[in-house]
Amino acid sequence: MLEDVRVVHTVVPSPLGPVTLVSHDGGLSALLLQSSKYESVQGPFGERADDEFDDVRTQLDEYFAGTRTEFDLPLHLVGTSFQRRVWEGLLRIPFGQTRSYGELAAEIGLDPRTSSRAVGAANGRNRIAIVVPCHRVIGADGALTGFAAGLDRKRFLLGHEAKGRPREHLLF
């Protein structure tokens, strides 16, 4: 018999518009940015439980204030083993740096010539934006590519992280 999983959510403000946070049994399972920066994401995210996201809210506030460069939150990664491998690779990209899809593939032990597209697809399925920093992955030519919440938000996040950082692996 499967155990019941407690799913709850909240919506918090951010410089990018409302952010919907979802938790499965205490682990952050989604951080969703609406395609329009003025509306929150709608969906079956369990009951609303604003008080259960204090740590996430605090760490996001610190990130946007420029005082946090790394998140320390319990995560509930829902995906295939390959997707989780890619997402764990994303978690190792330092604040303020970027990687191409091929570089990320190589860093997680894959052949970049044959795996870049698969890495890109897994990156696109990441549901925990910002915390699992899919925005730090760019095209091999340095172009901004794919971000579910829009390239303007990806540009904002990369610009935010680039302030005061060394120029190595930076887009800006």
Per residue of the chain (172 residues), give pLDDT as tens.
Answer: 456 889 999 999 999 999 999 999 999 999 998 765 555 566 778 899 999 999 999 999 999 999 999 999 999 999 999 999 999 999 999 999 999 999 999 999 999 999 999 999 999 999 999 999 999 999 988 888 878 788 899 999 999 999 855 444 444 4
**134 an active-site residue?**
yes
Residue among 86, 134, 137, 157 flagged as catalytic:
134
Say what the alpha-carbon torsion angle 56, 62, 68, 71 is, to the nearest 10 degrees.
0
Q: Which domains does the chain have, with CATH numbers?
A: 7-65 (3.30.160.70), 81-162 (1.10.10.10)
pTM of the model: 0.88
